[in-house]
Amino acid sequence: MSQGSSDPAGRSSDRHPGVRGRGRDRGPIVQGASVSGTDASDGALAAMLDALPERIARFRRHDLLVRYCNAAKAADYGMEPAEMIGRPISVALGPDTFEQLRAHLAQLGPERPIIRETTQLIRPGQAPRWIEWVEQWLPDDGDGDVLSVGRDITDEHHRRLAQTESEERFRVAMADAPIGMAIVGLDHRLLQVNAALCELLGRTEEELLQLTTLDVTHPDDVDADLAYGHGPARSALPGGLEKRYVRPDGSIVWGLLKVSTVTAPDGTPRYVIGQVVDITSRVEQEEVLRRRAADERLVADRLRELDRVKNTFLTAVSHELRTPLTVVRGMATTLRRLGPGIDPTTRDTLELALERHADQLGDLLDELLDVDRLARGALSSHRRDLELVGVVEGVVEASEVRGHTTVHAPAELWTLADQVQVERIVGNLLDNAAKYAPGSHIEVAVRPYGERGFRVEVVDEGPGIPTAERERVFEAFHRGDADHPRPGTGIGLALVAEFARLHGGRAWAEPSDQGAHLVVEVPSPAP
C-alpha cells in the first residue's frame, strides 16, 4: 500500500513465493535488519538501491519500524533515508493513515505472503502519480518483516488509459459507421464486424465471425483480394480495391475495399482494419453506361456502314441502269436513223436487243421494289400447288445462259410455293453464275426435300467464292468483287435468301474446290 497515499484503486493480491521485478533478493534488505554502510559491499548495494527509481522499504511488521528505505521512498515524504531508518513509519504519516497501513500490512503472513496493488499517490503541489506496489512478508523468529517495492507506472497508466479511450472511440465509431467495417486477423478471419457490413453481406454478426474474408469474396476476385493485402499491390491501388462479394442467396454486391494494417511497437503486423463502401449502384450504372456506349458505337458503325452501302448501292444501281439505257438509246437512234428502209433482219435484231435490255431494266426495277417491300415488311409469299421442274426449265430457257446450262431434275416435282418468287430465286442464281463465271458450264439440280419441299442447287465452273466471303454472299448489298466489270447491286442473292426465308427455308454457299455452289432449300409447308 502507498504509505501516505489516498484514493486507492484496483487493489489486488496474488499468492507467489517471491517478489517480482526489482526488489527481489536484495541481500541485506531481505536478510539483515538494515543497511549500515559499514561494510564496503553493503555500502555499494545501498548506493545502487538509492539510485533506483523504485520506492523500496523494509518494515518490522508488528510496529512498522523502518529497517531500510531508499532515497526514492524517503523522498515521497520529503525526507532523507537516514531520517526514517530505525524509526516507526508514523514519523512520516498521520495517525489515521498509519493505522490504515498497519491494518493493510497485517494481512501478510504465511497464508498470504504477497500483496499486489496499484494506488494513486497524491502530494501537495505535485501531479498525481500512479504507483504499482508489491509487498512481501519475510518470516523470521518473531512476527516477520515486510518488504515493500513501489514502481511508478504513471506514464504507462496514461498510455493504457489513452489506448482504452482510443479503442472505445474506435468501437463507437465503427459500430455507428454508415459503411461496412471489420477487424480482420492475419489469417483472414473476421474478428469484429459492424452492422453496416452485416447488412451489406446479408449475414448476421454471429455468422460472419465464423467466416474469413475469402468465404464472402467472389471466386474470381480472391486472387486480387489476396494481392491487395500486400504492400506493393495496395500502393498500386491507392483508391482501394473494387471487388465482388457473394451474399447467402447467391446475389452479388460490389464493394470498394480499403484496408489499414495495425502493427505492434516493433512493427510486426497485428491485424487489419477493413472499410467497405457499397458501390453496387454505381457499378450497375457504369455497366449501363458502358452498354449504352457500346450500343451507340455499334449504331454509329452501322450508320457508317449503311452510308457506305448506300453510296455503293447508288453507284451500282446507276451503273446497272446506265448500261441498258445506253443500249436502248442507241438502238432507238439507229432505228430512227435507218427509217423505213431498214432490212427485216436488222430490225429484228435491234428489236430483240431493245426487248432484252427493257426486260433487264424491268428486272432491276422489280428488285428495287422488292427491297423496298422488304424494308417495310410488306413482302410475303403466296403459296399454291406448283410443278417445280417446269418452272425451273422455263427460267433456264429464258436466260442468257441457256446454251451452256444443264438441268438435272425428276420428270416432275409438285410443291407448294409462290411461283413468281421461285422464278426470281432461280433467275437470280443463274444471273450470278453468268456474271461471275461467264461462258462456263452451269449445272442446275432440282430435288425433292421432305414430303412437299424442294432443293435447288446451281453450280458453275468460275473462280468460286473465297471462304471468308461464303457467309456474306447472301447479305443485302454485299458484292463479292467491286472491281468486276458487272459488280451488280448486291441485292440479287439477298432476295434469293429472303424469298427462301418467306417459304420457311434458307440459302447458303457450299464449300467447293472449283466454282460456286449455291443452294436453296425449302421444307414442306407446316400443316
More confident residue, 99 or 14: 99
pLDDT in tens, 167-190: 788 788 888 889 999 999 999 999
More confident residue, 36 or 151: 151
| pLDDT for 306 beyond 70 | no
Distance CA 337, CA 341 (A): 10
| pLDDT for 337 beyond 50 | yes
Average pLDDT rounded to a whole number, residues 212-238: 79
Distance CA 290, CA 421 (A): 44
| pLDDT for 512 beyond 50 | yes
**What is the per-residue pLDDT for 468?**
81
**What is the per-residue pLDDT for 419?**
93
Q: Average pLDDT of the chain?
A: 82
Instruction: Rounding to the nearest 10 degrees, give the CA dihedral for residues 105, 109, 113, 119.
Output: -10
Average pLDDT rounded to a whole number, residues 6-13: 35
With cut-offs at 50, 70 and 90, classify the pLDDT of residue 426. Answer: very high
Instruction: Rounding to the nearest 10 degrees, give the CA dihedral for residues 32, 38, 39, 44.
Output: 90
| pLDDT for 134 beyond 90 | yes
Distance CA 195, CA 175 (A): 7
C-alpha cell at 447: 430435288
With cut-offs at 50, 70 and 90, classify the pLDDT of residue 66. Answer: very high
Percent of the chain predicted with pLDDT > 70: 80
Average pLDDT rounded to a whole number, residues 110-116: 93
**What is the per-residue pLDDT for 481?**
58
With cut-offs at 50, 70 and 90, classify the pLDDT of residue 233. Answer: very low
**What is the per-residue pLDDT for 373?**
67
Average pLDDT rounded to a whole number, residues 36-50: 67
| pLDDT for 29 beyond 50 | no
More confident residue, 157 or 349: 157
Tell me the Ramachandran region of residue 490: left when phi exceeds 0, alpha when psi lies from -120 to 50, beta otherwise: left
| pLDDT for 371 beyond 70 | no
Kindly write down the DSSP assignment for every residue of 306-374, as one continuous string: HHHHHHHHHHHHHHHHHHHHHHHHHHHHHHHHHGGG--HHHHHHHHHHHHHHHHHHHHHHHHHHHHHHH
| pLDDT for 200 beyond 70 | yes
Nearest to 7 by CA among 123, 155, 156, 122: 122
Rg (CA), the chain: 53
More confident residue, 504 or 347: 504
Q: Residue 101: CB partners within 8 Å, gap ≥ 6?
A: 1, 3, 64, 89, 93
Burial of residue 290 (CB within 10 Å: 0-12, 13-18, 19+) is: exposed
Distance CA 377, CA 487 (A): 27
- 145-152 and 66-69 beta bridge pairing: unpaired
With cut-offs at 50, 70 and 90, classify the pLDDT of residue 83. Answer: very high
Nearest to 448 by CA among 413, 406, 422, 497: 413
Q: Nearest 5 degrees, angle CA 492-CA 390-CA 450?
A: 80
Distance CA 401, CA 442 (A): 8
**What is the per-residue pLDDT for 230?**
59
By three-state DSSP, how is residue 288 classified? helix
Average pLDDT rounded to a whole number, residues 442-470: 91
Q: What is the pTM of this model?
A: 0.46
Q: Nearest 5 degrees, angle CA 113-CA 108-CA 92?
A: 125
pLDDT in tens, 307-335: 765 665 555 555 556 666 777 777 778 77
Distance CA 258, CA 410 (A): 78
With cut-offs at 50, 70 and 90, classify the pLDDT of residue 26. Answer: very low
**What is the per-residue pLDDT for 62?**
87
More confident residue, 17 or 373: 373
| pLDDT for 301 beyond 50 | yes
**What is the per-residue pLDDT for 12?**
32
Distance CA 470, CA 517 (A): 10
| pLDDT for 489 beyond 70 | no
Written as one letter, the residue type at 241 is L
Neighbours of 420 (CB within 10 A): 13
More confident residue, 39 or 94: 94
Average pLDDT rounded to a whole number, residues 76-104: 89
E strands, 139-282, where?
Answer: 145-152, 180-184, 190-193, 241-246, 252-263, 269-278
pLDDT in tens, 404-420: 999 999 999 999 999 98
More confident residue, 460 or 347: 460
Find cell 489499414 and name the residue: 260
End-to-end CA distance of the chain: 108
With cut-offs at 50, 70 and 90, classify the pLDDT of residue 378. Answer: low
Distance CA 155, CA 136 (A): 25
**What is the per-residue pLDDT for 184?**
92
Percent of the chain predicted with pLDDT > 90: 42
- Lowest mean pLDDT: which of 25-39, 219-233, 292-306, 461-475? 25-39
With cut-offs at 50, 70 and 90, classify the pLDDT of residue 374. Answer: low
In the beta sheet, which residues pair with residue 260?
273
**What is the per-residue pLDDT for 31?**
40
Average pLDDT rounded to a whole number, residues 358-369: 69
- Lowest mean pLDDT: which of 69-78, 271-280, 346-355? 346-355
CB 130 within 8 A of CB 121: yes
